[in-house]
Structures are given as C-alpha cells and as structure tokens.
Chain A
Amino acid sequence: MQALKRVAIIAGMSAFRTYRSWSDVAWILIIPVLMSVIIASWVVGGETTFSGVRMEMPNGRDDIAAFQQLRGIFGIYLIFVLSALIARAGSIHKERLEGQLQRTIGLGVPYHQIVAAHFASVGLIGLIQAVVFLSVTGALGVSWLMAGWWPLVLSVVGMLIAASGLAVGVAGLCRSEGQIALVSGGGPSLLAMLGGAFFPLDVAPANVQRLAVVNPIYWSMQAMDGAYAYQGFGSMATPMAVLLLFGAFGAVIGIQGLRRLET
C-alpha cells in the first residue's frame, strides 16, 4: 500500500510539473488544438461532392464530412500524444543528469517503484491531454460522439496504452534527452503519414502499405475507422489487441532498458 501511494505521489507530481510549464502546455495542448481548428475548417471548407452520387459509409451512415473532419483531427491528436509522451518519458534521463534520480533512490525509494511511477506519470499526462483535447475540440464542433461514448473511449485508451508503452520503450533505448527529442520531434509525424492518418494509404506503393502493420498509428486509425464507419466493437477488436501488444512490447523494452540506468 505504501509503495502504491509512493508511486501515485511521484507520478502525480511529475504530471503536475508538466502542466505547470507553459512551454509544455503549448506543445501538449495549445498547438494540437490550434492545428485541429485549422484542419477542421479545411475539411469542412474543402468538402468535395459529386453530382448524381450519394456517398455512404459501410455501416449505413452518410455523415461523411463529419467523419472525415473527426478523422483528420484524430490524426493530429495521435501525433501529439505520441510526441508528448515520448518527450515526457525522456525526462528520466534529465532527472538522472541533474541527480534527482540518485537522490530519490538515496532516500530509500526502490528503483522499480521509480520506473513504475515514471510509467504511470506518462499515462496520466496522456490521459489529461486526451480529456482536455477532446473536450476543447468537441466544444468547437467536432462530432466525437457521433457513434456514442464507448467507441471514442476505446479508440483513445487503445492509443494511450500503445503510446505510453512505446514512450517508455524509447526512453529505455535512448541514452540522452537529445536523442529522445529527435525521436519525439520527427517520429510521430512520419508514423502518421505512413499510417494513413492524413492521406489514404492506397496512394502508397504496396511495400509501404504492408509496412503499416507495424505502425501503431495505422492500428489506431483502424480502430477509429472500425468504430465509426464499420461494425463498432466487432471491427475494433483486432486493432485494439494490436495496440495493447504495442504497449506491452514497448513497456518490456523500456523497463529492460531503464534497468541499465540503475547500475
């Protein structure tokens, strides 16, 4: 119980420090919302219609423009959740350089609890980001609830688990903040473009399309498509399972990698 309390306090303080910093708030919340507003206006303003043709989604819905707007904004969200969580996961290296990590261990906190707290703080930061982002963009008119609450919650939670795991994995593999900044800056945008978040993968060569199966953003978009355009839960099962696997895989790599910091 004591350990759990300790983990919760460290994770909570870490999340608090993040959202107290204006530059972090700008990156985690303000810029994604701003970009979403632009995307939203672009999708609505640029909606193309064909005379004599009625478009319909596989599940029979015909609110195509609302779905496309939602999808584009979800793509923006995915980039920023991955970017923010990878950057935050890298803070353990900064703490080590500044001696904070060593001081915490010196005070008798077991190392595995610090890693657990670190993992929890990444998830917590992602959760706060998701709630604020979805609320603000929803208030601005994005129809997040067009298929109900659960498809949205599951799509977001799936990506949060995958992103948290991968973020810890990257922190375990990289040795410095600089390396992590490089990965968090360029990686998510590339993954989004290769995962079909902004343009259909149909335009890509066959090998690039095949490569998408090892891309968490691709599976997250599949979960979103399944929830809103196909059969809901039934179509979300496979993407959700793959996202959970990404999360678990990343966490294992990360925990193994972060162990080396202890020695």
Chain B
Amino acid sequence: MRALRHIIVIAGNQLRRVALDGALIWLVGLPILIIYVLGITLHGAFATDFSPAEPMRIGLVEHESVSELGVGDALEAMPQFFVIDRYYDEEAARQAVLARSSRAAVIVPPEFPNEPATVVTDPSSLVGEILAGVLASFTAEGLGQDQAFEEGQEANPVTRSDIVENQGAEDVAPIEPGSRPFGAGAFEYYSIAIAVMFAMYAAHSVTVYSVGDRVTGAYVRIRALGVTRTTYMAAGFFGAALTGVVYFSLMSIATRLLFGASWGGLADWAVLTVVGSIALAAVSFLIMAVMPPSPKGVENAGGALITVMAFLGGSTVPLPVLPEWFRASFVWMPNRALLDGYLALASGRPLGELGLEFQVMGIVSALLVASAWLASSVRFKREA
C-alpha cells in the first residue's frame, strides 16, 4: 500500500513537471499547428471528390487515326482537372512542357493502344499520374481484357473497333485520385497520427526526468526516504503511461473542438488509450534501461527512435499512400497498432474487432518491459 502511494505521488510529480516545462507550447501548440497545416494541405488528397485547386494546362497530340478512340474527349470531359491545348507537332508539345507553359504533354501514337502513349511531365507533379490513369483505361487491361494481354498482343491484338465498341468517350470514368479508401479525412487522420507521435515524446519526457533524478541526486535522496528501486522504476513507468493518457485526453478534446476529429466512443477510446499509453511508455522504459544514465543521451536516443518510429508507423506519411508491403512490414510496432486502433474506432468499428491491435500492444509491451527490467536489474545490481 505504501509502495502504491509512492508510485502515485512520484508519477503525479513527473506529470506535473512535464506540464510545467513548456508542454503547452511544444506538446500541444506545435502538434495542433502541424495538424492544421497538414489537414489544410492534404484535405484534397484525402477527399473522395478531389480536384486540383486550378485546372492544369496540358498539351495533347492525338493522331487523326486514333481520335475515334476518344482520348481527347475523355480528357475534355474533366474540365476541373485539365485545360487542353491541341498540338499537331509532337515537338511543340514537348517544348511547351520544357518551357513550363504546359504542365504535361500527352502523345497518342497512331498505333495506340497497341503502342504505348507517352506522357511528358515533371514526375514530381500529380498530373502525370492522373493522365496515365486515364490513358491506361483505354488499353486492354483497362478494358478488362487481361486474358488477351496475357496470351500476347500478337496472338490477339486489341483493335480500335474493340475499344470504341466497348468504351465510348462518354463512358470513360474520370479518374479520381482522392477516391482511394483513406477511411478518414486529412484532419481526422493527422489529429490521431500526430497525437500518437507526440504522445511518445510526452511519455519520453517523463523517462528523461527519471534519468535526470539520478544525475541531480534527487534519486538518492528519494531512496534514502525509504522508496525502493523497484518502486521508483515502477513510478517512472506509470508516470510515462499516465502522461500518455492525459495527453491523449487533451488532444482528443482539442482536435474534436478544433477540427471535428472523431476518436470513437468514449468507453472504447478509454480502453484503447490506456493500453496504448502503456505500450508507448514501455518503449521509453526500455530506452532508459539500456542507455547510459545521462538525461541528454536518453533524450537524444529517444528523440531519434521516436522520429523513425513515427515515420514507419504512419504518423508523418499517411498509411494509405504507402505501398502495401511497406505497411505490412511495420504492423508490429506499438505506435502503429495504436494508430490503427484509433482509426478503426474513428471509422465506427467496435472495440471487439481490434484483437490484432491489442495483441500487438500487449505482447510488445510485455517484451519491452521485461527486457528493460532485466537490463536495469543487471546494471543496478550493486544498488540492492
């Protein structure tokens, strides 16, 4: 009972120190600014009805013999995306792109679709991907003739009449880059993702304070007052987890009010938050255990690890735009599991469906805490 009281008092004190150490600016103000900027910037990309801020000027070189395919008509049917300049000279269209007076040039050869069309554009812009998507819908694969493609174009070439018969210009569905199943809006996604990242920093601050106590002599004084090493370590871990819970509470309220972000039902959210905060605290706990007892060193190591974890865990680059193999490679990370869990709750899934996320957080937390305990027991054996 006495140990429990010690843990609560020390953890509460750690939380207070984080709160008084400029947390309002760097743990709340900065992430809200980041969420706002990313939300505004990527709002269009996350929306199902994406269209660019202004139509993009493109050049089209369409050979007369393929005009019946309707590539130009399909592009002209997307006035919110493109303003089209028609060229008869391929070189003139290319020069316009090179001089940046045109965003892209689409060159449709007479043999299209048996010969590929060419899109000339800056690869860093979105226009190339949209145009390629439109053009691809005119090819055999785009028409669902996969088998013909597999058997070889020579054996069963796609003819223009096939195309016209199967897909007139009026039937060409406009490409909607934002129609990918993101599951959440930009503001909602980043409210959760950035909160998960900064919760790791918040929890780590407590760990840094715990290490700092060893350097300043506060730890020795606390031990002299009858607090055991186990109690002190447990208090540090509990303090980090508590800071995570308080931080998520604050951020969920702030982002709900400011950006209308949904974090799911209160009861489900509370369970996930507690389990997730313990998992995030476990990461810092292990760093503290394996690093030399220097606050600066622990802070830097934690900062570096959290930066990488946040990147791999979808807090900076949105998960849906990452390749499938890349996403699948990091589902074992606790911050990723927590992000997945919150996104699932935000999309209306019940807590019961988050078995995988809870398993990941549970197993990883147990492994990290056990490793940390073992490492610190070996290191501080002489203390006992």
B116 lies within 8 A of A58 (CB): no
Instruction: Report A-chain residues with C-beta under 8 Å of the C-beta of B326.
Output: 41-42, 45-46
In whole angstroms, how far apart are the Cα atoms of A225 and B121 in the complex?
A: 11
In whole angstroms, how far apart are the Cα atoms of A60 and B26 in the complex?
A: 46
**Which chain B residues in 326-381 approach chain A with CB under 8 Å?**
326
In whole angstroms, how far apart are the Cα atoms of A48 and B112 in the complex?
A: 21
Instruction: Report A-chain residues with C-beta under 8 Å of the C-beta of B38.
Output: 193
B37 lies within 8 A of A205 (CB): no
The minimal Cβ–Cβ distance linking A138 to chain B, given in whole angstroms, is 20
Interface string of A13-54 (1 = CB under 8 A from B): 000000000010011001100110010011001101011111
The minimal Cβ–Cβ distance linking A184 to chain B, given in whole angstroms, is 11
Given contacts A203-B50, A205-B53, contact A48 B129 (CB under 8 A): yes
Given contacts A23-B296, A193-B41, contact A35 B308 (CB under 8 A): yes
A57 lies within 8 A of B308 (CB): no
Instruction: Report A-chain residues with C-beta under 8 Å of the C-beta of B297.
Output: 23
Whether a CB of chain B sits under 8 angstroms from the CB of A131 is no
Whether a CB of chain B sits under 8 angstroms from the CB of A64 is yes
Whether a CB of chain A sits under 8 angstroms from the CB of B204 is no
Instruction: Among B50, B139, B303, point to the contact of A51 (Cβ < 8 A).
Output: B139
Whether a CB of chain A sits under 8 angstroms from the CB of B280 is no
Given contacts A182-B25, A202-B56, contact A50 B122 (CB under 8 A): no
Q: Name the interface size band of chain B.
A: 35 or more
**Which chain B residues in 21-72 approach chain A with CB under 8 Å?**
22, 25-26, 30, 33-34, 37-38, 40-45, 50, 52-54, 56
A31 lies within 8 A of B122 (CB): no
B308 lies within 8 A of A31 (CB): yes
A208 lies within 8 A of B317 (CB): no
Whether a CB of chain A sits under 8 angstroms from the CB of B127 is yes
Instruction: Report B-chain residues with C-beta under 8 Å of the C-beta of A182.
Output: 25-26, 30
In whole angstroms, how far apart are the Cα atoms of A68 and B116 in the complex?
A: 22
A52 lies within 8 A of B34 (CB): no
In whole angstroms, how far apart are the Cα atoms of A30 and B301 in the complex?
A: 12
Whether a CB of chain B sits under 8 angstroms from the CB of A221 is yes
Q: Name the interface size band of chain A.
A: 35 or more
B37 lies within 8 A of A225 (CB): no
B122 lies within 8 A of A46 (CB): no
**Which chain A residues in 61-105 approach chain B with CB under 8 Å?**
64, 67-68, 71
B117 lies within 8 A of A53 (CB): yes
**Which chain B residues in 96-132 approach chain A with CB under 8 Å?**
97-98, 100, 112-113, 116-129, 131-132
In whole angstroms, how far apart are the Cα atoms of A86 and B100 in the complex?
A: 34
B136 lies within 8 A of A68 (CB): no
The minimal Cβ–Cβ distance linking A173 to chain B, given in whole angstroms, is 16
**Which chain B residues in 286-343 approach chain A with CB under 8 Å?**
296-297, 300-301, 303-304, 307-308, 311-312, 316-317, 321-323, 325-326
B41 lies within 8 A of A194 (CB): yes
A203 lies within 8 A of B45 (CB): yes
Instruction: Among A58, A71, A186, A208, point to the contact of B98 (Cβ < 8 A).
Output: A58
Whether a CB of chain A sits under 8 angstroms from the CB of B141 is yes
Other A-B pairs, 14, CB within 8 Å; known A53-B136, A205-B41, A230-B100:
A23-B296, A23-B301, A26-B304, A31-B308, A34-B308, A50-B136, A52-B138, A53-B117, A57-B122, A189-B34, A190-B34, A206-B54, A229-B122, A230-B122
- B interface vs A, CB < 8 Å? 22, 25-26, 30, 33-34, 37-38, 40-45, 50, 52-54, 56, 94, 97-98, 100, 112-113, 116-129, 131-133, 135-136, 138-142, 149, 177, 296-297, 300-301, 303-304, 307-308, 311-312, 316-317, 321-323, 325-326
Give 24 CB contacts A-B under 8 Å.
Answer: A23-B301, A35-B311, A46-B323, A51-B136, A53-B136, A54-B118, A54-B119, A55-B121, A55-B123, A56-B120, A57-B122, A58-B94, A68-B123, A71-B123, A71-B124, A199-B42, A200-B125, A203-B42, A203-B44, A204-B42, A204-B53, A205-B43, A206-B53, A208-B41
Lowest 9 CB-CB distances: which A-B pairs, in order? A46-B323, A52-B139, A206-B53, A23-B300, A202-B126, A203-B45, A50-B132, A50-B136, A200-B126
